[in-house]
Chains A and B, each alone.
Chain A
Amino acid sequence: MSTSNQTEEKIEDIVAKIAELSRLSINSEEIPAYQQQLGHIIQFVKQLDDVGTENVEPMAHPQDQSQRLRADSVTESDQHKYFQENAPLVEAGLYLVPKVIEKAEE
């Protein structure tokens, strides 16, 4: 019983961490539902474990083609005024965002 509880707690933490990484705000009541849904997804994907992949080269792209390259030349012109029409806040040519601080602690 106690071991199962510990595992449950751990999974709750995992769900919370995934939410944090995805920048999703979820409350603790929602966690069991997400936990269940994520569990289903993992079970579904887990079926792949049964497939023998020893001699299969990992696929990086579904199309069997290679990258086409462009010449190194400047082809873009300055359109920042146009792009910045979409920005909520601009000053001195800079996009302004809520203050981000690299918090350093001893």
Chain B
Amino acid sequence: MEWEVVIGLEIHAQLSTKSKIFSGASTAFGAMPNTQACAVDLGFPGVLPVLNSEAVTMAVKFGLSVDAPISKRSVFARKNYFYPDLPKGYQISQFELPVVGKGSIDIELEDGESKTIGITRAHLEEDAGKSLHEDFQGKTGIDLNRAGTPLLEIVSEPDMRSAKEAIAYMKKIHSLVQYLEICDGNMQEGSFRCDANVSLRKKGAEKLGTRAELKNINSFRFVERAINVEIERQAEILESGGKVVQETRLYDDALNKTFSMRSKEEANDYRYFPDPDLLPLEIDDAFIEAQKKTLPELPDQKKRRFIDQYALSLYDASILTSNKDLAAYYEQVVDASGKQSKLSVNWVNGELAASLNKENMQIAQSPIKATDLGVMVGLISAGEITGKIAKTVFEYMWNGEGDPLAIIDKHGLKPITDSAELEKLVDDIIAANPKQVEQYQGGQQKLLGYFVGQAMKVTKGKADPAQLNQLIKKKLK
């Protein structure tokens, strides 16, 4: 039987506000336990939530960037459940009337085609606290610093047909929220989390199969693996005539398996109702128009511009614009290089990306300044240094020496272009290798490479190979 995979994602993006969504407590990460949980966050009697305007602004920006209508009137609802890290006994969320309506976003598939993924809705809600199960001998420790941190929950349509598509979508949203500067996207710190709804149906069938929900997977790699093992599990069940149970499952990366999480199913009746503590949120046209004007250039627009302006391939432009900081870095390199856009992309997506990858660093942490790399690229294109020397210069820059011109001076990396000097050097090599000269003159043309190699060795790569080639050919005629 051929099965079609159907995936929908719920992404939780932590909004980068300074204070919580309903209180004036700080949202800074990494504070001592419970030092940033105030009476509102703790659900003390008599306190009232007051909505953070910045959280609303950020939600509106997101909605506009995915072409979704912004609700003129939206309502906060209580989602009721019992858990120790939820002190009020309910989470303030949005249910029937979310702030952001139906939108969409385009993703790029591996074959270069693009596909539109529907966004069902996005709503504002508060995060819960953290439970720490270790270290407390039979007890669970509760840290409520995170309680009340603003989240934007972004719900997709079940439009994805493979784990790869799901990752492409997730990465696109990840990039978008960072472009908009509404979320720092830090997955290790839990600022960007994802639940995946996965189901299978017979190829060609209209009706969706029963889904399992994979909870809180905190890296792109794990999302992909979790979805794939879940697809395998469901296919096995269906192939053997069984039925998939609708449930929440957890992914264990050590075992590369998903497990049923029964405890949460028990009380899966959230009894949503409008929160009487919060009046409806009204957003007027003037506000929406004002936000439209503040939107930055978005990833897709930037990608198109890079292709036009810098004559880049779709592939290179996609990589560069997938990250706002990387795109900005590239543009600085191009500027400093004297508009050498193609040579710049080779260095940024090549040598630099490889070095960053090796050290597991982000572009923002790059030890090489964009302007320095740009100046170096300019020197290559002007023929001032060879590609080989450039790699050496790059090494020095990577190790923090900064200005490429200073590096070239200090380490004597100036190219030897003086033909008299080169001629002398070539004469020496010819004199020292009579046997090879004889063979070459006897017809073994490929020995030319040997002479050039010797010359490069003597000059430590500082000569131009093309120039050497010509010179040696002339001398050995």
The CA-CA distance from A69 to B133 in the complex, in Å, is: 37
Question: How far apart are A87's CB and chain B's nearest CB, in angstroms?
Answer: 9
Pair A102/B38 contact, Cβ less than 8 Å: no
Pair A69/B52 contact, Cβ less than 8 Å: yes
Pair A97/B24 contact, Cβ less than 8 Å: no
Pair A95/B142 contact, Cβ less than 8 Å: yes
Rank and list the top 10 A-B pairs by shortest CB-CB distance, nearest first.
A75-B24, A94-B141, A72-B54, A69-B53, A93-B33, A66-B282, A104-B259, A76-B38, A95-B142, A60-B75
Contacts from B to A (Cβ < 8 Å)? 17-19, 23-26, 32-39, 42, 44, 50-56, 73, 75, 82-84, 96-97, 131-133, 136, 138-144, 250, 252, 257, 259-264, 266-267, 269, 271, 274, 276, 278-282
The CA-CA distance from A72 to B257 in the complex, in Å, is: 42
Q: Which of B53, B83, B139, B266 contacts A96 (CB 8 A)?
A: B139
| Residue A68 lies at the interface, judged by CB distance under 8 Å to chain B | yes
Residues of A in contact (CB 8 Å), total: 42
| Residue A67 lies at the interface, judged by CB distance under 8 Å to chain B | yes
Q: Which of B139, B259, B267, B279 contacts A98 (CB 8 A)?
A: B139
Residues of B near A102 (CB, < 8 A) are 250, 261, 263-264
Question: How far apart are A92's CB and chain B's nearest CB, in angstroms?
Answer: 7
The CA-CA distance from A77 to B338 in the complex, in Å, is: 52
| Residue A71 lies at the interface, judged by CB distance under 8 Å to chain B | yes
The CA-CA distance from A75 to B52 in the complex, in Å, is: 12
The CA-CA distance from A79 to B141 in the complex, in Å, is: 18
Per-residue CB contact flags for chain A residues 13-42 toward chain B (1 = under 8 Å, else 0) read 000010011010000000000000000000
Contacts from A to B (Cβ < 8 Å)? 17, 20-21, 23, 58, 60-61, 63, 65-76, 78-80, 83-84, 89, 91-106
Pair B51/A69 contact, Cβ less than 8 Å: yes
User: Would you list 5 pairs from A and B whose C-beta atoms are within 8 A, ordered by A residue?
Assistant: A20-B267, A70-B50, A76-B38, A101-B263, A104-B250
Pair A67/B282 contact, Cβ less than 8 Å: yes
Known: A75-B19, A96-B141. A70 touches B24 (CB 8 A): yes
The CA-CA distance from A92 to B136 in the complex, in Å, is: 10
Known: A23-B82, A67-B51, A106-B260. A91 touches B136 (CB 8 A): yes
Residues of A near B143 (CB, < 8 A) are 93-94
Known: A95-B142, A96-B139. A68 touches B261 (CB 8 A): no
Pair B84/A60 contact, Cβ less than 8 Å: no
The CA-CA distance from A98 to B257 in the complex, in Å, is: 28
Question: How far apart are B101's CB and chain A's nearest CB, in angstroms?
Answer: 17
In the complex, residue of chain B having the shortest beta-carbon distance to the beta carbon of A90: B34
Question: How far apart are A95's CB and chain B's nearest CB, in angstroms?
Answer: 4
Question: How far apart are B232's CB and chain A's nearest CB, in angstroms?
Answer: 14
The CA-CA distance from A103 to B264 in the complex, in Å, is: 9
Residues of A near B33 (CB, < 8 A) are 80, 92-94
Residues of B near A89 (CB, < 8 A) are 139
The CA-CA distance from A70 to B142 in the complex, in Å, is: 28
Interface centre among A71, A97, A98 (most CB of B within 10 A): A97
The CA-CA distance from A29 to B38 in the complex, in Å, is: 43
Q: Secondary structure at chain A's binding surface: helix, strand, loop or mixed?
A: loop
The CA-CA distance from A20 to B264 in the complex, in Å, is: 13
Residues of B near A103 (CB, < 8 A) are 261-263
Residues of A near B82 (CB, < 8 A) are 23
Residues of A near B37 (CB, < 8 A) are 80, 83
Pair B51/A72 contact, Cβ less than 8 Å: no
Residues of B near A61 (CB, < 8 A) are 75, 274, 276, 278-280
In the complex, residue of chain B having the shortest beta-carbon distance to the beta carbon of A62: B276
The CA-CA distance from A21 to B304 in the complex, in Å, is: 53
Residues of A near B18 (CB, < 8 A) are 72-74
The CA-CA distance from A100 to B139 in the complex, in Å, is: 8
Question: How far apart are A73's CB and chain B's nearest CB, in angstroms?
Answer: 6
Residues of A near B271 (CB, < 8 A) are 21
Residues of B near A78 (CB, < 8 A) are 35-36
Known: A89-B139, A98-B140, A104-B250. A79 touches B281 (CB 8 A): no
Question: How far apart are A22's CB and chain B's nearest CB, in angstroms?
Answer: 9
Pair B35/A67 contact, Cβ less than 8 Å: no
The CA-CA distance from A63 to B278 in the complex, in Å, is: 10
Question: How far apart are B85's CB and chain A's nearest CB, in angstroms?
Answer: 9
Pair B52/A65 contact, Cβ less than 8 Å: no
Pair A94/B269 contact, Cβ less than 8 Å: no
Residues of B near A95 (CB, < 8 A) are 34, 84, 141-142, 144
Residues of A near B23 (CB, < 8 A) are 76
Residues of B near A66 (CB, < 8 A) are 73, 279-282
The CA-CA distance from A17 to B55 in the complex, in Å, is: 37
Interface centre among A61, A98, A105 (most CB of B within 10 A): A61
Residues of A near B35 (CB, < 8 A) are 78, 80, 93
Pair A96/B136 contact, Cβ less than 8 Å: yes
